[in-house]
Structure 1
Amino acid sequence: MTDPAVETLATGLAFPEGARWHDGALWFSDTHAREVLRLDPDGGGAPERVASVPGRPSGLGFLPDGRLLIASTHDRRLLRREHDGTLAEHADLSAIASWHVNDLVVDRHGRAYVGNYGDASAPPDPPQPAALALVQPDGSAVAAAEGLLFANGLVVSGDGATLIVAETRAAPGRLTAFALDPADGALSRRRTLVEFDASVFPDGLAIDGEDGIWVASPFSAEVIRVDAGGAITDRLAIADPYAVALGGADGRDLFVCTSGTWLPEQAERERSGAIRRLRVRVPAPSGS
């Protein structure tokens, strides 16, 4: 494991999550502060609030037309931020998600894949296996896969043909890959891309231009890169990482959402959350 140069871009956050690079800025949820923020990483200013979400925001993704999708965790809805900044319900996932919704990814066709916790349990108790929701651009939703153990970070491969999901509370933690049907978004041919050692509970994910996947691993205090074949290529030390995003002017900035705690009440009280930045070798996919 190497110790990279880490730059701090923002502090005083409750629990930053769901980071996405879009339109020259970092967008992320401050889940336990109930808001979505936008940060210009080189502007020197504080993050700008772009949405207030009483149900606590988590995963973010952008439709092809630039509108933002937000996972509203506690009410199990997917919200859509219109171009004028107003929020509308994009999908009600309460019939699919058995507990709070979590991270999401949007593919090139505007289809969103959304995970959920499964139940209210916490380690060391095992979670209830849960469904992964597929939301079409028109807001219709179905269960695309069953039996995931706390589906967390999600990414889509550069060719759009593979969906990768972090199963945080599998034993051991793992990245699970599915073949993604370009016609309708259906998932099939489930396989394990990589299993980690017992110290790693994979959380947020980001994908680079070589289909390498950066994995936030909060409890082993590192971010881990896994190549397209499932081999671990890099392990970079950083404290308390829960989500990651690739972007910046040349695509080689790895933004890391950190927090001293994941517990909601403690996070709201302590506001130890921060946005960090470190440099990596392989840039984000072109056009991202």
Structure 2
Amino acid sequence: MKTLKTSVLASGFSRLKAPRWHLGALWVSDVRAGKIFRIDLDGKVTIVADVPDRPFGLGFLPDGSLLVASMTQRLILKLGAEKSAIHADLTDLATGYLRDLAIARDGSAYVTSFDADATGPDGFASARVLLTMPDGNIRSVADNIAHPNGLAITSSHDLLVAETLGNRLLGFKIDSDGELLHRKVFADFEAMSPLGICGDAEGAVWAAAARQSLFVRVQQGGRITHRVHVPGRHAVACQLGGQDGRTLFCLTVAANPNDYPNRQQTARVDITTVDVPGAASSIRLAEIGSH
């Protein structure tokens, strides 16, 4: 097993979520600050948009439009140059706050939703993966998941879901109409609860370990091949990108906020270089952004 170390790319954030590599930069949402940031490879930070109602999951439509899941409003917003518009209203289907967002190649958007206070079989039954189709159709496509958090769509068109309280990753085949078929366990973890995830070109998954100072690369079946330790930090989410697709962006937050002068701004982006690049879609975006 290989162990990697990180360096700091950018810091001074409140609570970062949903990293996405797009057009030569990392895009992240800051849930507590209510902002979307764009971070260049040299660490330059630009505010893309203000989203006061707790932005979480991010994704880009085929035409390049940016979608964001508004946690408390239970809306998916499309952010424009001057104002945002409602892309999908999920208030009738979402049983709790919205979380991560992933967009398929046809523009279908998947988002996770659960009540953070719900536990046990009855509570988990209300946790869902919701789907918004390009034609406006909205429906639930998966339930009975023990707190679904991070999402990733693989190059083989599977949807992976981080089942945080189930200590595992679930995999689904995406059907032609957006339905999720052939539910399976991609990987079980004995002592780790996965949060944010991303896939690489070999079909393995990088996952953040909830409440731990650890990111891991896991293959289907559960074999861990690489670890990234972030001492004194808690892992939150990760994304592959960079000009060659081999930069792993690791979102972290202070394990002990008292160690920092400003306790509300302890989130940051750490980076390391990995052997296997991101999935083909991420690499294409990186190439576009380099021209």
TM-score (norm 2): 0.88
Q: Name 1:177's counterpart in structure 2.
A: 171
Contact 2:154/2:279 (<8 A) preserved:
no
The counterpart of 1:92, out of the listed 83, 89, 94, is: 89
The counterpart of 1:252, out of the listed 233, 246, 261, is: 246
Aligned letter for 1:113? Y
Contact 1:17/1:31 (<8 A) preserved:
yes
1:208-264 CA distance string (max 9 Å, x none):
11111100113231111112444222222123110101000110000011112699x
For 2:164 and 2:115, the matched residues in 1 are separated by: 14
Structure 1 residues 41, 218: closer, same or farther in 2, change over 3 A?
farther
Pairing 1:74–2:66 present: no
The counterpart of 1:192, out of the listed 170, 177, 185, is: 185
Contact 2:5/2:229 (<8 A) preserved:
no
Q: What is the deviation of 1:269?
A: 4.8
Structure 1 residues 11, 156: closer, same or farther in 2, change over 3 A?
same
For 2:90 and 2:263, the matched residues in 1 are separated by: 30
Q: How many residues align structurally?
A: 274
For residues 190-229 of structure 1, what are the structure 2 equivalents within 5 Å? 190-198=183-191, 200-229=192-221
Give the secondary-structure state (helix, strand or coil) at the position aligned to 1:220: coil
Structure 1 residues 145, 169: closer, same or farther in 2, change over 3 A?
same
Q: What is the deviation of 1:89?
A: 0.6
Gaps of 5+ in 2: 283-291
For 1:262 and 1:50, the matched residues in 2 are separated by: 29
Contact 2:4/2:227 (<8 A) preserved:
no
Give the secondary-structure state (helix, strand or coil) at the position aligned to 1:148: coil
For residues 1-288 of structure 1, what are the structure 2 equivalents within 5 Å? 3-42=3-42, 44-45=43-44, 47-82=45-80, 84-116=81-113, 118-121=114-117, 126=120, 128-129=123-124, 130-160=127-157, 162-170=158-166, 173-181=167-175, 183-198=176-191, 200-238=192-230, 239-260=233-254, 269-288=263-282
Q: Name 2:288's counterpart in structure 1.
A: none
Give the secondary-structure state (helix, strand or coil) at the position aligned to 1:38: strand
Contact 2:17/2:31 (<8 A) preserved:
yes
For 1:9 and 1:233, the matched residues in 2 are separated by: 24
For 2:204 and 2:148, the matched residues in 1 are separated by: 19
Q: What is the deviation of 1:126?
A: 4.7
For 1:259 and 1:10, the matched residues in 2 are separated by: 12
For 2:276 and 2:82, the matched residues in 1 are separated by: 33
For 1:143 and 1:262, the matched residues in 2 are separated by: 38
TM-score (norm 1): 0.89
Aligned letter for 1:72? S
Query: % of aligned pairs identical?
Result: 39
For 1:73 and 1:62, the matched residues in 2 are separated by: 18
Q: What is the deviation of 1:8?
A: 0.6
Structure 1 residues 232, 4: closer, same or farther in 2, change over 3 A?
closer
Q: What is the deviation of 1:4?
A: 2.3
Aligned letter for 2:32? H
Structure 1 residues 208, 22: closer, same or farther in 2, change over 3 A?
same
Stretches of 4+ aligned residues off by more than 4 angstroms: none
For 2:116 and 2:234, the matched residues in 1 are separated by: 22
Contact 1:73/1:102 (<8 A) preserved:
yes
Q: What is the deviation of 1:2?
A: 5.3
Contact 1:2/1:237 (<8 A) preserved:
no
Q: What is the deviation of 1:135?
A: 0.8
Deviates more, 1:55-64 or 1:232-241: 232-241
Give the secondary-structure state (helix, strand or coil) at the position aligned to 2:32: helix
Q: What is the deviation of 1:26?
A: 0.1
Contact 1:126/1:169 (<8 A) preserved:
no
For 1:87 and 1:261, the matched residues in 2 are separated by: 34
